[in-house]
């Protein structure tokens, strides 16, 4: 029996593409050799890992040797932050934004307990920050700026390329958490000018538990995983061959379909958001006027218990999220909305609707039919 879902939670995770499932099944079946083994079976696995590395390098305009496969976005950002601070312990100032994911926030908080100074750039109600703030924050002892490319809750894009230019002038390294950006907008490490970039396969129709860190040639990191010499000594442990093969296929699909996928997602978003504004006249779409991902809508609803709405929608088979999936279940106000100054008490919370290149217009229309029914059902002012 298969369950039918109307899946609008693609920023939490995506369904693996059929081609990804096929490539991974094949890898599980035939590529069970250890890539470090000298025999032919092992070398087949090593070849598959090398091919995925080339596919990823092509997709983000990096060199294959600049990529470290990890268990996902969280590990990639931990490796970037801890790996760099351990490699250059003399510089003890770090800069970030106030809307980062915990995968960046938590490592930085831990470093603060070890005496590091962390400057968090404030954002305005549009999720943007003034580059002059960054300019003022950069100092001779600044080691790293970590800025996400696209926010997971709002989809708002941060000015990473502009920030990277300022960093280069000051000789400060820059990392970007691009986990939400890949597959939705073009991501080119040369155009961005970043030194480190984190990504995660399950956000672009690849498998969970597999991601990568781009490390610009010449940037030295300390490994966070000690053991054998895989991934140039930067990530010990036998490679997740099926996961890496799945990531390779997922980025191959991104490279092949991005412009069309972007257009499609934009059209779905235009239809959805114009209808939402009619439907919930006192609701607000966060960051409506600023550059955003083409697949994300964060809808703030007045006097609505969004956790209850989520459950009511779920009873109709609709999957959405209230803010970040990592925080759903915890009835705390979204840190991102707080940072944007949009956590006023008249607004109960926000519903995050996120679609993908596989979402259809018919699914958007079904969501638009179900939403008012679910809203009527809860009728529970906060």
CA dist 164 and 145 (Å) reads: 9
How far does Cα 46 stand from its chain's mean position? Answer: 27
Our finding on whether 206 is near ligand PLP (CB under 6 A) is no
Q: CB of 12: closest distance to ligand PLP in angstroms?
A: 7
Binding piece for ligand PLP, criterion CB under 6 A, among 80-88, 176-184, 256-264, 351-359? 176-184
Binder among 101, 235, 352, 357 for ligand PLP (CB under 6 A) = 101
User: Is 96:174 a contact under the CB 8 Å cutoff?
Assistant: no
Q: CB of 99: closest distance to ligand PLP in angstroms?
A: 10
Binding piece for ligand PLP, criterion CB under 6 A, among 87-95, 137-145, 172-180, 305-313? 172-180
- Select from 353, 355, 354, 358 the least CA-distant residue to 374: 353
Q: Pattern 243-262, binding to ligand PLP, x per CB under 6 A?
A: --------------------
Query: Going by C-beta distance under 8 Å and a sequence separation of 6 or more, which residues neighbour residue 167?
Result: 138, 145, 173, 174
Query: Which of 23/156 has CB closer to ligand PLP?
Result: 156
Q: CB of 378: closest distance to ligand PLP in angstroms?
A: 26
Which residues, listed in sequence order, are joined to residue 213 by a DSSP beta bridge?
68, 198
CA dist 340 and 125 (Å) reads: 5
Q: Which of 210, 297, 319, 326 is catalytic?
A: 326
User: Is 162:112 a contact under the CB 8 Å cutoff?
Assistant: no
The residue to which tokens 């083409």 are assigned:
294
CA dist 304 and 323 (Å) reads: 14
Our finding on whether 177 is near ligand PLP (CB under 6 A) is yes
Q: Pattern 269-298, binding to ligand PLP, x per CB under 6 A?
A: ------------------------------
Our finding on whether 200 is near ligand PLP (CB under 6 A) is yes
Q: CB of 38: closest distance to ligand PLP in angstroms?
A: 32
CB atoms within 10 A of CB 259: 9
Binder among 35, 127, 206, 211 for ligand PLP (CB under 6 A) = 211
Query: Going by C-beta distance under 8 Å and a sequence separation of 6 or more, which residues neighbour residue 320?
Result: 8, 9, 310, 313, 351, 352, 353, 354
59 in catalytic set = no
Q: CB of 171: closest distance to ligand PLP in angstroms?
A: 26
Strand order in the sheet with 296-302: 284-285, 296-302, 347-354
Q: CB of 101: closest distance to ligand PLP in angstroms?
A: 4
Phi, psi dihedral angles at 341 (to 5 degrees): 75, 25
Binding piece for ligand PLP, criterion CB under 6 A, among 34-42, 69-77, 168-176, 258-266? 69-77
Torsion of CA 122, 177, 66, 47, to 10 degrees: 180
The set of catalytic residues is: 326
Binding site for ligand PLP (CB under 6 A): 72-74, 101, 103, 148, 152, 177, 179-180, 200, 211, 326
């Amino acid at each position: 029996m298969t369950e039918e879902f109307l899946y609008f939670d693609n920023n939490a995770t995506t369904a693996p593409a059929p081609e990804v499932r096929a490539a991974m099944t094949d890898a599980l079946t035939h590529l069970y050799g250890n890539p470090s083994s000298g025999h032919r079976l092992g070398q087949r696995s090593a070849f598959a890992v090398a091919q995925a590395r080339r596919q990823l390098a092509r997709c983000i305009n990096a060199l294959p040797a600049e990529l470290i496969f990890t268990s996902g976005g969280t590990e990639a950002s931990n490796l970037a932050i801890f790996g760099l601070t351990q490699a250059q312990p003399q510089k003890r100032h770090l800069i970030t934004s106030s809307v980062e994911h915990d995968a960046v926030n938590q490592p930085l908080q831990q470093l603060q307990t070890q005496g590091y100074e962390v400057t968090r750039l404030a954002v305005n109600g549009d999720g943007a920050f003034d580059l002059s703030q960054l300019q003022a924050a950069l100092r001779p002892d600044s080691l790293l700026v970590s800025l996400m490319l696209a926010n997971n809750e709002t989809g708002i894009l941060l000015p990473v390329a502009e920030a990277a230019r300022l960093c280069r002038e000051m000789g400060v390294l820059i990392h970007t958490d691009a986990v939400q950006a890949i597959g939705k907008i073009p991501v080119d490490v040369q155009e961005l000018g970043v030194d480190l970039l984190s990504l995660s396969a399950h956000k672009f129709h690849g498998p969970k538990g597999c991601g990568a860190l781009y490390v610009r040639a010449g940037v030295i990191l300390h490994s966070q995983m000690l053991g054998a010499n895989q991934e140039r000594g930067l990530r010990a442990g036998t490679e997740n061959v099926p996961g890496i093969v799945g990531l390779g296929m997922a980025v191959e699909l991104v490279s092949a379909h991005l412009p069309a996928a972007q257009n499609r997602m934009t059209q779905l978003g235009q239809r959805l958001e114009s209808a939402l504004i009619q439907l919930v006249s006192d609701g607000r779409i966060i960051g409506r006027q600023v550059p955003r991902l083409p697949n994300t809508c964060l809808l703030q609803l007045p006097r609505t218990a969004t956790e209850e709405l989520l459950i009511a929608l779920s009873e109709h088979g609709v999957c959405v999220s209230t803010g970040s999936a990592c925080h759903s279940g915890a009835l705390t106000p979204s840190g991102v909305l707080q940072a944007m100054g949009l956590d006023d008490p008249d607004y109960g919370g926000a519903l995050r609707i996120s679609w993908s290149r596989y979402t259809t217009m018919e699914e958007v229309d079904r969501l638009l039919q179900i939403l008012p029914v679910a809203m009527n059902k809860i009728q529970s002012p906060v």
